[in-house]
Amino acid sequence: MNINKEIIISYQEFDSTETLSTTEQLLIQKANEIRNNSYSPYSNFKVGAAILFDDGSITTGSNQENAAFPSGLCAERVALFYANSQFPTKKIIQIAIIGGYKNETTDTPITPCGSCRQVLIESESRQSSPIELLLVGEKKIWKISTAKALLPLSFSSNNLTSN
Protein backbone atom coordinates (compact mmCIF):
# COMPACT_ATOMS: atom_id res chain seq x y z
CA MET A 1 0.00 0.00 0.00
CA ASN A 2 1.20 3.51 -0.84
CA ILE A 3 -0.01 6.44 1.26
CA ASN A 4 0.96 10.02 0.46
CA LYS A 5 1.26 12.30 3.45
CA GLU A 6 2.01 15.97 3.75
CA ILE A 7 3.68 18.19 6.34
CA ILE A 8 2.66 21.84 6.41
CA ILE A 9 4.52 24.48 8.37
CA SER A 10 2.85 27.74 9.30
CA TYR A 11 4.46 30.85 10.73
CA GLN A 12 3.82 34.55 11.11
CA GLU A 13 5.78 37.13 9.15
CA PHE A 14 6.31 40.72 10.29
CA ASP A 15 8.00 43.55 8.42
CA SER A 16 9.16 45.38 11.56
CA THR A 17 9.50 44.92 15.30
CA GLU A 18 6.89 47.62 15.97
CA THR A 19 4.01 45.14 16.06
CA LEU A 20 5.83 42.76 18.41
CA SER A 21 5.48 42.93 22.19
CA THR A 22 7.98 44.99 24.19
CA THR A 23 9.38 41.74 25.60
CA GLU A 24 9.94 40.38 22.09
CA GLN A 25 11.57 43.65 21.05
CA LEU A 26 13.90 43.42 24.06
CA LEU A 27 14.73 39.79 23.24
CA ILE A 28 15.66 40.77 19.69
CA GLN A 29 17.76 43.66 21.00
CA LYS A 30 19.65 41.30 23.34
CA ALA A 31 20.27 38.80 20.51
CA ASN A 32 21.59 41.61 18.33
CA GLU A 33 23.83 42.97 21.10
CA ILE A 34 25.40 39.57 21.86
CA ARG A 35 26.43 39.26 18.21
CA ASN A 36 29.30 41.58 19.17
CA ASN A 37 30.72 38.72 21.26
CA SER A 38 30.75 36.34 18.31
CA TYR A 39 34.12 34.77 17.66
CA SER A 40 33.91 34.36 13.89
CA PRO A 41 37.28 35.26 12.35
CA TYR A 42 36.96 32.64 9.60
CA SER A 43 33.46 33.22 8.25
CA ASN A 44 32.85 36.77 9.54
CA PHE A 45 29.22 35.62 9.97
CA LYS A 46 28.11 36.77 13.41
CA VAL A 47 25.04 35.23 15.04
CA GLY A 48 23.36 36.09 18.31
CA ALA A 49 20.66 34.21 20.19
CA ALA A 50 18.65 35.36 23.20
CA ILE A 51 16.47 33.10 25.33
CA LEU A 52 13.44 34.23 27.34
CA PHE A 53 12.64 32.15 30.42
CA ASP A 54 9.27 31.70 32.06
CA ASP A 55 10.27 34.06 34.90
CA GLY A 56 11.01 36.89 32.42
CA SER A 57 14.79 36.63 32.66
CA ILE A 58 16.96 36.44 29.54
CA THR A 59 20.22 34.68 28.70
CA THR A 60 22.22 34.92 25.49
CA GLY A 61 24.82 33.23 23.32
CA SER A 62 26.86 33.97 20.21
CA ASN A 63 28.53 31.70 17.67
CA GLN A 64 32.07 30.59 18.47
CA GLU A 65 34.26 29.38 15.60
CA ASN A 66 37.46 27.35 15.72
CA ALA A 67 40.26 26.83 13.22
CA ALA A 68 39.31 23.13 13.35
CA PHE A 69 35.90 23.95 11.83
CA PRO A 70 33.80 21.17 13.36
CA SER A 71 34.89 22.31 16.81
CA GLY A 72 32.95 25.56 16.70
CA LEU A 73 29.42 26.03 18.00
CA CYS A 74 26.37 27.93 16.79
CA ALA A 75 24.85 30.76 18.85
CA GLU A 76 21.65 28.81 19.43
CA ARG A 77 23.44 25.85 21.00
CA VAL A 78 25.74 28.08 23.05
CA ALA A 79 22.65 29.78 24.53
CA LEU A 80 20.63 26.57 24.94
CA PHE A 81 23.43 24.56 26.56
CA TYR A 82 24.21 27.43 28.93
CA ALA A 83 20.52 27.81 29.79
CA ASN A 84 20.06 24.10 30.43
CA SER A 85 23.23 23.80 32.52
CA GLN A 86 22.80 26.94 34.61
CA PHE A 87 19.00 27.12 34.89
CA PRO A 88 17.72 23.53 34.54
CA THR A 89 14.39 24.22 36.25
CA LYS A 90 13.45 27.29 34.19
CA LYS A 91 11.29 26.82 31.11
CA ILE A 92 12.42 28.41 27.88
CA ILE A 93 9.52 30.36 26.39
CA GLN A 94 11.12 31.94 23.34
CA ILE A 95 14.42 32.29 21.50
CA ALA A 96 15.37 35.15 19.16
CA ILE A 97 18.06 34.52 16.52
CA ILE A 98 19.72 37.17 14.36
CA GLY A 99 22.79 37.07 12.15
CA GLY A 100 24.76 38.45 9.27
CA TYR A 101 28.22 39.31 8.01
CA LYS A 102 30.20 41.53 10.32
CA ASN A 103 27.71 44.10 11.68
CA GLU A 104 25.16 43.79 8.88
CA THR A 105 21.97 41.82 9.39
CA THR A 106 20.69 39.56 6.64
CA ASP A 107 17.59 40.91 4.86
CA THR A 108 15.61 37.75 5.49
CA PRO A 109 15.90 35.75 8.71
CA ILE A 110 18.49 33.05 9.13
CA THR A 111 17.23 29.69 10.30
CA PRO A 112 18.90 27.31 12.76
CA CYS A 113 21.06 24.55 11.29
CA GLY A 114 19.97 20.94 11.61
CA SER A 115 21.99 20.34 14.78
CA CYS A 116 20.50 23.41 16.44
CA ARG A 117 17.00 22.33 15.41
CA GLN A 118 17.58 18.95 17.05
CA VAL A 119 18.84 20.60 20.27
CA LEU A 120 15.85 22.97 20.28
CA ILE A 121 13.50 20.00 19.98
CA GLU A 122 15.32 18.16 22.78
CA SER A 123 14.90 21.26 24.96
CA GLU A 124 11.17 21.32 24.18
CA SER A 125 10.92 17.64 25.07
CA ARG A 126 12.91 18.13 28.27
CA GLN A 127 10.58 20.85 29.52
CA SER A 128 7.38 19.37 28.02
CA SER A 129 6.40 22.65 26.35
CA PRO A 130 7.08 24.39 23.04
CA ILE A 131 9.76 27.00 22.44
CA GLU A 132 8.66 29.84 20.19
CA LEU A 133 11.24 31.11 17.71
CA LEU A 134 11.77 34.69 16.52
CA LEU A 135 13.95 34.54 13.43
CA VAL A 136 15.07 38.07 12.67
CA GLY A 137 16.15 39.69 9.43
CA GLU A 138 16.54 43.34 8.49
CA LYS A 139 13.36 43.34 6.38
CA LYS A 140 11.40 40.42 7.82
CA ILE A 141 10.80 38.66 11.12
CA TRP A 142 9.42 35.13 11.26
CA LYS A 143 7.61 33.88 14.37
CA ILE A 144 7.33 30.10 14.62
CA SER A 145 5.27 28.63 17.46
CA THR A 146 7.44 25.56 18.08
CA ALA A 147 10.87 24.26 17.13
CA LYS A 148 9.20 20.99 16.12
CA ALA A 149 7.82 22.84 13.07
CA LEU A 150 11.38 23.24 11.74
CA LEU A 151 12.18 19.53 12.02
CA PRO A 152 8.89 17.64 12.04
CA LEU A 153 10.37 14.15 11.56
CA SER A 154 13.01 14.57 14.24
CA PHE A 155 14.93 11.94 16.17
CA SER A 156 13.70 11.62 19.77
CA SER A 157 13.99 9.50 22.88
CA ASN A 158 11.18 7.36 21.45
CA ASN A 159 13.68 6.16 18.83
CA LEU A 160 15.91 4.80 21.60
CA THR A 161 13.40 2.39 23.09
CA SER A 162 13.80 -1.28 22.28
CA ASN A 163 10.97 -3.20 20.65
- The answer to whether the beta carbons of residues 12 and 143 sit under 8 Å apart is yes
> In sequence order, what are the beta bridge partners of 24?
none
How far, in Å, CA of 109 to CA of 100, rounded? 9
Active-site positions? 76
Q: Strand runs (DSSP E) across the chain, as ranges?
A: 12-14, 45-53, 58-62, 92-101, 132-136, 141-144
| Residue 144 Rama label (left phi>0; alpha psi -120 to 50; beta) | beta
Using the CB atoms, write b or e for 96-108: b if 16+ within 10 Å: bbbbbeeeebbee
How far, in Å, CA of 86 to CA of 89, rounded? 9
- State the number of CA atoms in the 13 A half-sphere of 6 facing the CB: 2
